[in-house]
Homo-oligomer: A and B are copies of this chain.
């Protein structure tokens, strides 16, 4: 038997709130997903104007970041043509996302969840994911 820590629903709401604040600042309505450390969805919000396709993409970015313990943009560079993880983007039925915007959420060096953002450019999505975590840390 072992003990692990994971985000609870309050954490997920704070991450979403932090993401929404940043999304409004940059003027890009986003889909925002938060998963637990196993990649299972805790909470999701599609802001007014967020893209329908981004619903799945945000959820899968959060899933990837949490369950693979790795930022999705790191998979982006590792999976370029010629790079070692080339072709991994279609793994797990295409759920493994290699586009920026998915970040693991760390607590005392452990992955406790994941946040996934989609609707902007990958750089915007990643920026909003970072802002979500920074907001969550400030309140923690």
Mask of A72-85 contacts with B, CB within 8 angstroms, 1/0: 00011001111011
- Tell whether, in the assembled complex, residue A100 and residue B76 are in contact, meaning their CB atoms are under 8 Å apart: no
- The answer to whether B41 and A55 have CB atoms under 8 Å apart is yes
Residues of B within 8 A of A76 (CB): 84, 86-87
A25 interface residue, CB < 8 Å from B? no
- The CA of A41 and the CA of B94, in the complex, are separated in Å by 19
Task: Give the number of chain A interface residues (Cβ < 8 Å).
Answer: 64
- Measured CB to CB, the nearest residue on chain B to A108 is B1
> B57–A86 contact, CB under 8 A?
no
Determine chain A's interface SS by DSSP, over half rule.
mixed
How far is it, in angstroms, between the C-alpha of A79 and the C-alpha of B76 when the chains are bound? 11
A1, A39, A42: residue with the most chain B Cβ atoms closer than 10 Å: A1
Write the residues of chain A forming the contact surface with B, with a CB cutoff of 8 angstroms. 1-9, 11-12, 36, 38-48, 51-57, 60, 63-64, 66-69, 75-76, 79-82, 84-94, 96-100, 107, 112, 121-123
Q: A42-B45, A81-B81 are in contact. List 8 more A-B contacts (CB 8 A).
A: A2-B6, A3-B5, A9-B45, A38-B38, A40-B52, A56-B91, A57-B88, A92-B94
